[in-house]
């Protein structure tokens, strides 16, 4: 899509969040526990809403006007250790 829409001045990027507490992950958090889940990430914590704001702002601002066709994992480093 980045190649197709770039000619119109439109950037196309992706934010790939790791494990974040949500309605969808509530059951797993209840079963495994937040501390256990967080222990598998290099940063030793789960993501929260604040963790996505900076990248969203970058992609949407003039600072990101020459970034297109990219994805960035926001996962506390999990993809760096397991490959991704």
Instruction: Output the six-digit token pair for 52.
Output: 């996505």
**What global pTM score does this model have?**
0.81
Instruction: Report the distance separating Cα 83 and Cα 23, nearest Å.
Output: 26
The domains found in the chain, sorted by start residue, are 2-82 (3.40.50.720)
DSSP secondary structure, 16-62, as one string: EE-----TTTHHHHHHH-HHHHHTTSTT-S---HHHHHHHHHHHHSG
In this prediction, residue 49 carries a pLDDT of 86
84 residues of the chain, pLDDT tens digit each: 999 999 999 999 999 999 999 999 999 999 999 999 999 899 999 999 899 999 999 999 999 999 999 999 999 999 999 876
In this prediction, residue 26 carries a pLDDT of 94
């Amino acid at each position: 899509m980045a190649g197709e829409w770039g000619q119109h001045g439109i950037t196309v990027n992706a934010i790939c969040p790791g494990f974040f507490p949500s309605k969808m992950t509530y059951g797993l958090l209840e079963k495994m526990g937040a501390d256990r889940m967080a222990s598998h990430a290099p940063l030793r914590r789960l993501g929260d809403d604040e963790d996505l704001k900076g990248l969203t702002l970058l992609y949407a601002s003039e600072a990101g006007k020459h970034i297109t066709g990219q994805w960035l994992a926001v996962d506390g480093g999990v993809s760096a250790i397991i490959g991704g």
